[in-house]
Amino acid sequence: MVGLSEQGLQGVHRSLASHVQSGKLPGLVALVSRDDDLHVETIGSMSVGGAGPMKRESIFRIASLSKPITAAAAMILVDEGRIQMDESVDRWLPELSNRKVLKSRTSARDDTVPSKRPITLRHLLTFTMGIGSIVERSNTYPIQRLIREYKIGGDGPPLPSEFPTTDDWIKRLGSLPLVAQPGERWMYHVSADVLGVLISRVSGKSFGEFMRERLFEPLGMKDTGFWVPSEEAGRLPPSYSLDPLRKALIVFDGAADSAWLRPPPFESGGAGLVSTVDDYHSFCRMMLNKGKLGGKLILSEASVGQMTSDQLTPAQRAGPDVFLGKGRSWGFGMAVEVERMEDYQTPGRFGWDGGLGTTAWTDPGEGMVTILFTQRMMESPTAPKLFTDFWSAAYGARK
């Protein structure tokens, strides 16, 4: 009989508790499931200084764990035939038509060539639309300054209140040249935010409303959304970053005055959602069950298969980009493991990490889901030791 062993789960607890006890973070909530076995750990406190214990129902800013959910929302529209994978998105996003492309990353804004092809839904889902995060020192290239000044995103930790409105955001993006030709290389983040705008325009509803009706309510994700209602504000812990000089945690986004306590001007499909471990587990279980949960069909099996399989060519993922790492590629809105690099890094495993301290991965071969939500921001795109220790311990808990 498969499942999780009690002795192994004690190892999960010891591993996670050691990180909290060391003072590296105030608290965390972790979930491990395998087939019908489900285990949740709540360790530490809601904030530095211990203002109440961490709870299973705590609501976290999940940052880039929004991306897989956004991709699933887009695939609902594909399943319904409302948009085709390889058709131009110009019909719904005229701001992105007739793109210009920089001759090189070092080019000035007007040093461009015409785009060879229009942007398609496939480009957005695979993050190959031609613009995104540029992992270089700030101001290395002129386009980096423009991305920052226009508040496009992908150049630092997100704060919803700092975004322009949705229409202003897509207009600003449309006024910028692309960095690469559509379809030619993987670039992180911005495509997911464009997906949110596209979903809204195709569906005729706000992005948040579509997500609530088609994903959150059917899956019972009652605490997932783009902001936390005032009556639930006490469940939102502060978010922290590490001060590299003082080697101490400092507040990035507080609890009482959080930017997530009011509706944002822009609903970011790339990094805007809040959620709980149980809500996110419902989404992961739906993906693990090939689009179904509790007898409800959310996505077609074919769509789940596309989302969770390698969709990039070697040329598209070539280059110095550190987000993917070794042995890993990209499906639709999430990473997929393509080579075994560690005991937990098994081919077919899919998921992603959130820069504000969250991670969620699903392993179909093991029938396993691993979710860890914390309040500590990641210092780099590479998974911190907390994450890798958690994954190792969770895989060690298999019967």
State the Cα–Cα distance between residues 173 and 170, nearest whole angstrom.
5
Of 66, 319, 55, the closest CA to residue 186 belongs to 319
Question: For residue 358, what are the contacts with CB-CB under 8 A and spacing of at least 6?
Answer: 60, 61, 62, 63, 65, 371, 372, 373, 374
pLDDT surpassing 70 at residue 320 = no
| Residue 323: per-residue pLDDT | 86
State the Cα–Cα distance between residues 204 and 222, nearest whole angstrom.
23
Higher pLDDT, 1 or 386: 386
Query: How much is the mean pLDDT over the chain?
Result: 95
pLDDT surpassing 80 at residue 50 = no
DSSP class of residue 261 equals: G
- Which residue type, as a one-letter code, is found at position 268? S
Write the pLDDT tens digit of every residue in 208-263.
999 999 999 999 999 999 999 999 999 999 999 999 887 899 999 999 999 999 99
> What confidence tier does 133 reach under pLDDT thresholds 50, 70, 90?
very high
As assigned by CATH, the class of the 1-50+59-399 domain is alpha beta
